[in-house]
Amino acid sequence: MTILSIKPFLAVVISLLAALLILFFGNNVRPNVREGITLSAAVIKAVLVFSMVPAVLAGNEYYFCLWEIVDGVELAFRTDAAGMIFACVASGLWIVTSVYSIGYMRGHHEKNQTGYFAAFAVCLSSTIGISFAANLLTFFIFYEMLTVATYPLVVHYRDDKARASGRKYLAYTLISGQLFFAAVAAVYVIYGTCEFKAGGFIDPGSVSTGLMLMLFLLMIGGGAVKAGIMPLHGWLPSAMVAPTPVSALLHAVAVVKAGAFCVLRVVCYVFGPEAAGWCGADKILAWFAVATILLSSFIAMRKDNLKARLAFSTIGQLSYIVLGISVLAPYSITGAMFHIVAHAFLKITLFMCAGAIYVTTGLSEISTMGGLAKKMPVTCACFGLASLGIAGLPLLAGFVSKFNIIRGALIAGKPLFVAVLVAAALLALSYLIPVVRVFFGKSDRSAEISGHAQTVGEKYGGHAGYNDAAPAMLIPIVITAVVSLVLGIMPDAGPHLYDLAVIAAESISGGGGAIV
């Protein structure tokens, strides 16, 4: 049943309004008021999004159409189960990231905070737009908005390094965005619609294999760049120059997940499993994902910079989602969708830990962090927990998703992928556990660290001898770590995200017919 309601639209525009307010008043009001705008918008948004969950669980969809945005296509929003998952993750984590941002940005005495919080709000607006978009054009509009809104965050420090990464980021995303645009226009001309439909609206055999494959690749390129599938991942490690909350946003909430979500929409809601399989696109996508998973793990092992190691870990994990989708089996699609959730919570925990360590102690290289756990026990414990979760250990969120993806691949009769998936889990252990071992290991550097922490503490927070991170950073870390634990034990806790993933996967295979 479709429920006509303005809620999805409100959920999108609320943070856009917040961004305008922040830009208008940001420099004239006290920072507390400005951050108040961010936080209240985040809370309202989350309430709006979560209030729609029960109806979607019951099999209904909210629908809202603004008007015809171009001849024949409407600017419309629809909350199907897949979009709901992404929206829940994004809006829930926005609150957490906002609190963390406030702690980080103030602790670090960052400049240009007004622009920072405004761009952040626009990013979230676009993300919710992406998750609720009812057709390709609406999707594309928000997708490009996300590209543009992330740019000021990437170049936040405004030095030469930031400028170079900004250029790189734009080069990758704008080029792929333009190709995506061409494909959307072509699909609209050929099929006369661009409305998302579970199971896809493109019939196999409607155009020649070559043309369909080209359309698919043009379209998937847009998603692949943001999801960091090799060889299109180049922008992602360089975007690490941004402040850590931005990295958290890029790598856990908005940008890379939007890329993965784009892959999901294109494969399952535009082409559909049947057409994707018919033109051989699923295999191409799967092999790229396999290569990315393996390569990124090996690169991650060699990185000493904590954020860089996490960046390559992200690249690998995102390809995990893409591989799950391209296996085209119901279980693996469920797993892939749930991995959007699991990875978001786990990776944001890791990034927030990295940022907290940096702000509190000034350390960014893993080799200098020996014995850190003594000084920052809670942060390091959360980091360890999330590391295990990324590797897919049972009782943690990562396990649920990975188990489902592997189950799907087994049922679909693709043992090679199963091997890759299992190997990838072990590889994730091999590059994250050493970090945890450094944290909890002995080191004669601990005196040095504590000295630095003291001076840093005095300089920024005024807490002489402060050990663990400031509460504004520590609380979000603990929350996300606990959530990933809870989701591991009870995947259906809270807004029933696992059920939503199952519903979405069922609707895709139901609509697609020939799915294994």
Partner 1 sequence: MNLFFISHIPVLIVVIPLCAAVLCPLLSRLSPSLGKRTVIVFLFVVFVLSLIQLAGIVQSGEAVHYYLGGWEPPYGVEFVIDGVNGIIIVLVSFIGAMTALFSSPFEEADKNAPFKSAGYYSILCFLVIGLLGIASTGDAFNLYVFMEIVALSGYGLIAIGEEKGPIAAFRYLLTGTIGASMYLLGIGFLYSATGTLNMADLAVRLQRVDNLPLIAIAMACLIVGFGIKMALFPLHGWQPAAHSYAHPAADPMIAGVMIKIPAYAMFRFFFCIFDSSLPMMKTIFNIIGIMAVLGILYGSLKALRYDKYNKILAYSSIGQVGYIALGFAIGNFYGIAGAVFHILSHAFMKTGLFYTSAAFKYRYGIHYTDRLGQVYRKMPVTCGALVVLALSMIGLPPFAGFFGKWYLALGAIQNGQYLYVAVLIISSLLSAIYFFRIFEKMFMGEKTVSEPAAPEEYYGYGKLTGKTEVPLQMLIPIVSAALMIIALGLGNSFIVNGILRTTIMEVL
Among 86, 94, 140, 172, binds partner 1 (CB under 8 A): 140
Adjacent-strand bridge partners of 65: 76
* Long-range pairs for 61-68: beta carbons < 8 A, 24 or more residues apart: 61/1, 61/2, 61/3, 62/2, 62/3, 62/4, 62/5, 62/7, 62/8, 63/2, 63/3, 63/4, 63/5, 63/8, 63/134, 64/4, 64/5, 64/6, 64/7, 64/8, 64/9, 65/134, 66/9
Asked whether position 170 contacts partner 1 by CB under 8 A, the answer is yes
User: Cβ distance 424 to 339 under 8 Å?
Assistant: no
Asked whether position 443 contacts partner 1 by CB under 8 A, the answer is no
Which residue's CB is nearer to partner 1, number 26 or number 389? Answer: 26
Distance (Å, whole) CA 6 – CA 17: 16
Per-residue buried b or exposed e for 168-187, using 16+ beta carbons within 10 Å of the residue's own CB: bbbebbeebbebbbebbebb
Which residue's CB is nearer to partner 1, number 131 or number 297? Answer: 131
Asked whether position 262 contacts partner 1 by CB under 8 A, the answer is no
Among 106, 108, 167, 452, binds partner 1 (CB under 8 A): 167
Q: How many CB atoms lie within 10 A of CB 208?
A: 10
Which residue's CB is nearer to partner 1, number 129 or number 355? Answer: 129
SS3 109: coil
Q: 176 vs 195, 224, 259, CA distance in Å?
A: 21, 9, 11
69-128 binders of partner 1 (CB under 8 A): 69-71, 75
Among 50, 181, 191, 403, binds partner 1 (CB under 8 A): 181
Which residue's CB is nearer to partner 1, number 119 or number 500? Answer: 119
Site string for partner 1, 20-49 (x = CB under 8 A): ---x--------------------------
- Select from 37, 224, 256 the least CA-distant residue to 146: 256
- Select from 237, 506, 468, 228 the least CA-distant residue to 343: 228
Asked whether position 166 contacts partner 1 by CB under 8 A, the answer is yes
Among 65, 162, 217, 516, binds partner 1 (CB under 8 A): 162
Among 29, 148, 284, 486, binds partner 1 (CB under 8 A): 148
The minimum distance between CB 118 and partner 1, in angstroms, equals: 11
Asked whether position 174 contacts partner 1 by CB under 8 A, the answer is yes
Which residue's CB is nearer to partner 1, number 4 or number 189? Answer: 189
Asked whether position 67 contacts partner 1 by CB under 8 A, the answer is yes
Which residue's CB is nearer to partner 1, number 80 or number 144? Answer: 144
Q: How many CB atoms lie within 10 A of CB 57?
A: 15
User: Cβ distance 122 to 145 under 8 Å?
Assistant: yes
Among 141, 294, 411, 423, binds partner 1 (CB under 8 A): 141
Among 29, 186, 301, 410, binds partner 1 (CB under 8 A): 186
Alpha helices in 376-445, H assignment, sequence order: 377-391, 397-411, 415-440
The minimum distance between CB 184 and partner 1, in angstroms, equals: 9
Which residue's CB is nearer to partner 1, number 149 or number 397? Answer: 149
Residue 479: alpha-carbon gap to chain centroid: 18
Among 65, 175, 393, 475, binds partner 1 (CB under 8 A): 175
Asked whether position 182 contacts partner 1 by CB under 8 A, the answer is yes
- Select from 49, 235, 84, 234 the least CA-distant residue to 147: 235
Residues that bind partner 1 (CB under 8 A): 23, 67-71, 75, 137, 140-141, 144-145, 147-148, 152, 155, 158-159, 162-163, 166-167, 170, 174-175, 178-179, 181-182, 185-186, 188-189
